[in-house]
Structure 1
């Protein structure tokens, strides 16, 4: 097995890099430290993730990987409180059985640009050094995500301090300094130890996303990514005061919104940028803002002046507040007049503006030819196949592609299939 490179820190300015066999015990590692530094092995203690390590434990069992930082201190006088290091070893990425999925935590690593297993680490909240012995172990995400929940005895500050937890990617990035390479933990991603089927494809995958609904519905990562992209294309993300724009369980369960937007990083860099732009657009529209309809612009801004003529603050394009076409003084608008556009109408306009920002004016002429407006909110809709029963993605109105009216029994009987 390959040699591990371990960094043992005595203080913020003193450290000892070592090469060790992964099967070495903590006791053997202490002997290596003593031989290299001259520090007496007697009373030498090592700390990992807020726990004092026992001499009989091996680096492999503890989940120690390349460039893992261990913190050392010389124990003097009465022994300090030690937490049983055998509890929660799976949280460090170790497993005593080959049949058990080894990882408990998952993160989005910006360096890997993808979902990765994560490891939990802890430092003193005051000096940010890792040689702190916790008074109790964390038992839930609130213990590690909320400040001040767990205290410890810091061997650097020599005082009782609040602990600061963070997560790192299990991949070797060569991070030797504390808090370097922190990653956003994805608390809804969990190991599928009960082999639950994906709610979408019914396949059994590892790991999975578990929605926070009462039934704890499971979805595999591939289906979750597809679900996010489809919902983003149809602008179906839901605004939540705490989570921002989020998604619920596909089954529509109450209270199932994903609580952390970092989960949407899984869709990839390009789609995640679309998600952030969507959130900005929705917030602007909710605040009564406008989107510039000029090609290759699409800038958003708030306008307090109630006049029909609007000038884009970015590209200086002049357009009509009512129909979003180029400003036309003295002429009637070609679209239905509305003096106080609703949020749904503005949202529909945002979709058109997104198209205009990507294509030339020739493309807009094509859109006019192949699309029809929703009879309720006038959202431009393109039919790509299937029956004539249309559902507006903006206002959710059911309407008929043939007669361009609300869907009714006559539509279903006469031209359901055209």
Structure 2
């Protein structure tokens, strides 16, 4: 199968830059690509260095391993002087078993987990004509800004860094990297259903689960919203294996629940966070209910919902303020009938039953009578007080 690819030739001997469209066979290697360019430009193929995704490629790299699309560009460099070295000695070269396509992403267009590919751009001009000066060593090197320095053949500015982006291998759209998803190369069993799926979720503890079991686990957690607030990751879940403390570090993994469930998760997580934050606001408009943060500064005590644009008083939640200053009966009633969770400070009302309270915000078990962590003494001294 053959495809058309765009080749950008940067000739450092002449200072010229030219673009070519070349038909390539997916089963051919990079050496055959350079020979095709040689026929057009008369530049000897041994003088051409091929750069793709910031790496100098081995001449033996197979084209299909690059996951090319019609929009992909391959850069060819012709240095001022050619230094012949053994192809296996370059620290920038890839092997025939390219790492491209070995990532997994959540693709919004496909609405599913898909194999992904990594692409690298100049952070300044977004050109793909870049050469990385160091290999990424971990996920943070490709997910965080200004980690990997590059040389850009387009803008040629000093002090440039790489910008890495992930794309879906199926539709070529930008997608979110799933750091906890990998291929099941050992065909290990899911720790829940004992199945052997090709794609598995692994939080780094080797308690692997298949996508179906992981989805069911998330949906059951969402039902009672047992997601726990774990800074800096936000409201997340621990490993599916009991008593394992590893947690999901990126909420993009929760997309596997489905769009409606993911939206519900986002809404509830925001509400829970706002409930324990002094600057959190929930829109009182009955048809909205959006939760958001508000930085008050020296304002008049009013907020505007960013979703429905409803303006209201943050104290009494009315459009036309009816606050009674220090004699606010509502506030007095709330303070008289509620206790605050000793861990997260959420106001809690007891409407019956024993004094044992389980906080749905932070998960703490505490005593409504003595407002401390629930102890054995609480159970015997004032269980029904």
Fold conserved (TM > 0.5)?
A: yes
Q: Report the equivalent of 1:277.
A: 267
CA distance in 1, matches of 2:62, 2:74: 13
Give the C-alpha shift of residue 282 in structure 1.
0.8
User: Within 1, Cα distance between the matches of 2:245 and 2:30?
Assistant: 46
CA contact (8 A) 2:214 2:240 kept: no
**Cα RMSD over matched residues?**
4.3
Quote the residue 2:195 is aligned against. 203
Asked whether 1:187 is paired with 2:185, we answer: no
Summarize the Cα distance change of 1:71–1:377 in structure 2 as closer, same or farther, 3 Å threshold: farther
Aligned pair partner of 2:258 in 265, 268, 274: 268
Contact 1:196–1:204 (CA under 8 A) maintained in structure 2: yes
Q: Which residue of 2 aligns with 1:362?
A: none
CA contact (8 A) 2:340 2:347 kept: no
Structure 2 match to 1:33: 37
Cα gap change, 1:144 to 1:294, in 2 (>3 Å): closer
1:154 to partner: Cα distance: 3.6
Q: C-alpha deviations, 1:264-319, integer Å up to 9, x for none?
A: 122222111111111211122112567578754434578989x9x94445xx899x
Pick the aligned partner of 2:22 from 15, 18, 22: 18
Q: How does 1:75-224 map to 2 (within 5 A)?
A: 75-79=79-83, 82-83=90-91, 85-87=93-95, 89-93=97-101, 104-156=102-154, 157=156, 161-173=160-172, 181-212=173-204, 215-224=205-214
Residue deviations 1:94-136, cap 9 Å, x none?
A: xxxxxxxxxx311112222221111122233444323333344
Could you say if the C-alpha distance between residues 312 and 239 of structure 1 is closer, same or farther in structure 2, counting changes exceeding 3 Å?
farther
Distance 1:249 1:270 in 2: 23
- Kept in 2, the 8 Å contact 1:125–1:164? The answer is yes
State which of 353, 357, 363 in structure 2 corresponds to 1:375: 353
The CA distance in 1 between the partners of 2:352 and 2:214, in whole Å, is: 30
| Residue 9 (str. 1) matches residue 41 (str. 2) | no
Contact 1:284 1:300 in 2 (8 A): yes
Using the TM superposition, name which of 81-90 and 135-144 deviates more. 81-90
For structure 1, list consecutive stretches of 5 or more residues without a partner in the other structure.
94-103, 174-180, 319-328, 350-372, 380-390, 398-418
2:289 maps to which of 298, 319, 337:
298
Specify the SS of the correspondent of 1:278: helix
| Contact preservation (8 Å) 2:284, 2:317 | no
CA positional deviation for 1:59? 0.9
Give the whole-Å Cα distance in 2 for the aligned partners of 1:292 and 1:154: 48
Cα distance in 1 between the residues matched to 2:108 and 2:234: 21
Moved more, 125-134 or 273-282: 125-134
The answer to whether the aligner puts 1:64 opposite 2:67 as a matched pair is yes
* Aligned equivalents of 1:278, 1:231: Cα separation in 2: 12
Indicate yes or no: 2:231 matched with 1:241. yes
Out of 225, 245, 248, the position equivalent to 1:258 is 248
Inter-CA distance 21–283: structure 2 relative to 1 (3 Å threshold): same
Cα distance change of structure 1 residues 237 and 347 upon mapping to structure 2, 3 Å threshold: farther
Q: Are residues 1:54 and 2:58 paired?
A: yes
> Matched residues in 2 for 1:209 and 1:348: separation?
37
Partner-residue secondary structure (3-state), 2:31: helix
Report deviation, 1:378.
11
Cα displacement (A) at 1:147: 3.7
Q: Given the two structures, how large is their TM-score scaled by the length of structure 1?
A: 0.65
TM-aligned CA distance change 1:109 to 1:317, over 3 Å: farther
Gaps of at least 5 residues in structure 2 are: 11-16, 303-312, 323-328, 366-385
**3-state SS of paired residue (1:89):** coil
State the distance in 2 between where 1:86 and 1:292 align: 54
Q: Which moved more, 1:233-242 or 1:190-199?
A: 190-199
Pairwise CA distance, 1:256: 0.8
What per-residue deviation string (whole Å, max 9, x for no partner) do you get for residues 345-378 of structure 1? 96989xxxxxxxxxxxxxxxxxxxxxxx772589
